[in-house]
Amino acid sequence: MADNCLVKHTKYQPSDDEWKCPQCGGGSEVFFINDPMENAADDCPKVHEQDGIECSKCGLYWSGKTVTTLMAKKANLVPCPCCKGKGVVPKD
């Protein structure tokens, strides 16, 4: 992990298995970060709030924040009440 990354990461970091287009379900071969957030560390593996994420299969484009919010919702996760939303926990 890049310790030198100083830009804002999304609260939810999806697993490789969850990394699919919210619209068409295309995986990492067609769903990717096309426009990394400015000033993000080149070697940072995390999703940043303002990353530009594109699906070349269905042609849609989202921000990192929008995509991870949709993925967390699909996984039935909500912001953690204990840590003031810095993490996510199962909804139930």
Whether the predicted pLDDT of 1 surpasses 60: no
Domain limits of the chain? 1-92
Residue 65 backbone class (left: φ over 0; alpha: ψ -120 to 50; beta: rest):
alpha
Q: What number of other Cβ atoms are within 10 A of residue 46's Cβ?
A: 17
Computed from CA positions of residues 4, 5, 11, 14, in that sequence, does the dihedral angle turn out positive or negative? Answer: negative
Predicted confidence (pLDDT) per residue in 46-81, tens digit: 999 999 999 999 999 999 999 999 998 888 887 777
* pLDDT score recorded for residue 84: 63
The whole-chain average pLDDT of the chain stands at 88
Q: Is the pLDDT of residue 3 over 90?
A: no
Rounded Cα distance between 63 and 30, Å, is 16
pTM (predicted TM-score)? 0.81
pLDDT above 90 covers a percentage of the chain that reads: 65
pLDDT of residue 53: 97
- pLDDT, residue 86, reads 62
Cβ neighbours of residue 19 under 8 Å, at least 6 residues apart?
27, 28, 31, 71
